[in-house]
Amino acid sequence: MSPPYEIFTNSQLYKLHLASIEILERIGVQIPSEEALKLCVDAGAEVDFKNKIVKIPQYIVEECIRKTPHKVTLYSRDLKLKLVLEEGNVYFGTVGFATRIIDINTGQYRSLNREDLAKLTRVADALENIDFQLVMGQPIDVPLEIAELYQWLIAFENTRKHIVCQALNKRNAEIAVEMGSIITGGKEELRRNPIMTFIICLNSPLIFGDGLTEALIVASRYGVPVWVESGPLAGANSPVTLAGTVALNNAEVLAGLVISKLVNPQSPFIYGSWSRSIDMRTGGVVLGGPEFALMRICTAQLARYYQIPSGGGGILCDSKTSDAQAGYEKMLTAILPAIARLNLVCGMGLVGSENIASFEQLVIDNEVAGMVKRVLNGIKLDDDTLAIDIIKEVGHEGSFLSKKHTLKFAKIEHYIPKISDRSSPDTWIRAGMKNTSQRAREQALKILSEYSPISLPKEVSEKLQSLILKLKTK
């Protein structure tokens, strides 16, 4: 395995660490959660209860880092699909939470509903290069206050892969854990074989939402993995410089780590980042630019420096549809985090700066991930792959095509795409001159008509639905 791509030296990483420590010690974090404030003051932090400000000293931060597990294993309903988050391993997944979708039949934007989310989840379940599913959409046809519970339900019912989703308050976090426990056979079994991860998105600069903090506490208490990140916008709610934004982001994530470790020192923790920038002409959020990809390298490096599993955005774009811009932005933001060995790279299936879901793009992104995985596998060099004996046998004018050696290594050494067209121009013309989006649409429709994921037992599905129904009837 080749070493990870890096942009900082160890001394620079230490300087970044000290900058984040200074932010936490001197400025502090606003945490409007009484339970979190009490945890912090009991640990020795300086707490201003009136203004809800916590200043966290260096020794607490570093002790919590030392307690954090270096490896996290994420499970799925299909136990063969476990993901081991440790140095060198890279996995690709979808991303959320789109509120609109490109209709697969009309090609037009419209609001995303539960049926759409279920179909997207089923297609992603079928695609071989999607390793986990961060729930892609937020359906508009459910009550907003329990929308994330429908997201969990739809994911549990439509994929066998590991699920990442949000919880925005204590009650919904408790119910989501109960849902996972029903599927696995109890809370202790869920802790041993976590089929779900909570993504906790903190606010910048330096403020934790009350509900998010409570959800972080709930998940940590039960030992359910938490993927804690913040998404500072360089030039808006964080410094315009990338180093300043990374330092702020790091401080926010470390503060989240402290809360998690004070609740449960052994709880699985994933160091995340969604740090990004604004377009200096329009003020819009930029996810498909080089700055976003560069900051994901920083994420991977800092997490490795702390010896903590990592995750962040990738295979993302600002293009509003599956066009050439989407292609180059998606590949840029896929390859850099991957070669930096970010453990979890998520962004598949969405366009328009994460606002628009697309079946076509989901299929295209599966191809992008497959290509990047081939790059990560590198080139194996040994006597068998050097093939000196075969070269001698073929000589000067022979062909390698009929050799067993070629058959043995053809699929191992060479990536075989599913929707990329490598035919001759004339063959392409005779086949109807279909572009990439058209071919991707055909594959998505084929999956929807032919593929069904492993379903939950009927009694389990009914129990999950009853938990939500009770809330709706209150």
Percentage of the chain exceeding pLDDT 70: 100
Cα 87-90-96 angle, rounded to 5 deg: 125
pLDDT in tens, 144-180: 999 999 999 999 999 999 999 999 999 999 999 999 9
Q: How far apart are CA 52 and CA 206, in angstroms?
A: 12
- pLDDT for 79: 81
CA distance 115 to 109: 15
355, 317 Cβ separation under 8 angstroms: no
Closest CA to 181 of 201, 156, 199: 156
Residue 207 per-residue DSSP state:
B
What is the pLDDT, as a whole number, of residue 2? 83
How do residues 56-108 score in pLDDT, each as one tens digit? Answer: 999 999 999 999 999 999 999 988 899 999 999 999 999 999 999 999 999 99
Q: Indicate the pLDDT class of residue 1, thresholds 50, 70 and 90.
A: confident
Give the whole-angstrom CA distance, residue 444 versus residue 363.
Answer: 7
3-state helix, strand, coil in the chain (%, to 5): 50, 15, 35
Q: What is the pTM of this model?
A: 0.96
Mean pLDDT for the stretch of residues 30-57: 97
Question: Is 461 a residue whose pLDDT tops 80?
Answer: yes
Range(s) within the chain of domains with CATH label 3.20.20.480: 65-377
Residue 43's closest CA among 257, 306, 258, 228? 258
- In the chain, the amino acid numbered 58 is Q
Where helices occur in 194-323 by DSSP H, the ranges are 210-222, 242-263, 290-306
Question: Any idea which fold 65-377 has?
Answer: TIM Barrel (3.20.20)
- pLDDT 10s digits, 324-353: 999 999 999 999 999 999 999 999 999 999
Q: Tell me the average pLDDT across 229-255.
A: 97
Instruction: Kindly indicate the confidence band of residue 116, based on its pLDDT and cuts at 50, 70 and 90.
Output: very high
> Residue 474's pLDDT band (boundaries 50, 70, 90)?
low
Mean confidence (pLDDT) of the chain = 96
448 has pLDDT over 90? yes
pLDDT at 382 over 80: yes
Per-residue pLDDT, 470: 86
In this model, does residue 301 exceed pLDDT 70?
A: yes
pLDDT band with cut points at 50, 70 and 90 for residue 416: very high
Contacts of 348 (CB under 8 A, 6+ apart): 92, 93, 94, 95, 124, 130, 315, 361, 362, 365, 366, 368, 369
Q: Are 322 and 361 in contact (CB under 8 A)?
A: yes
pLDDT greater than 70 at residue 259? yes
Residue 6, pLDDT score: 97
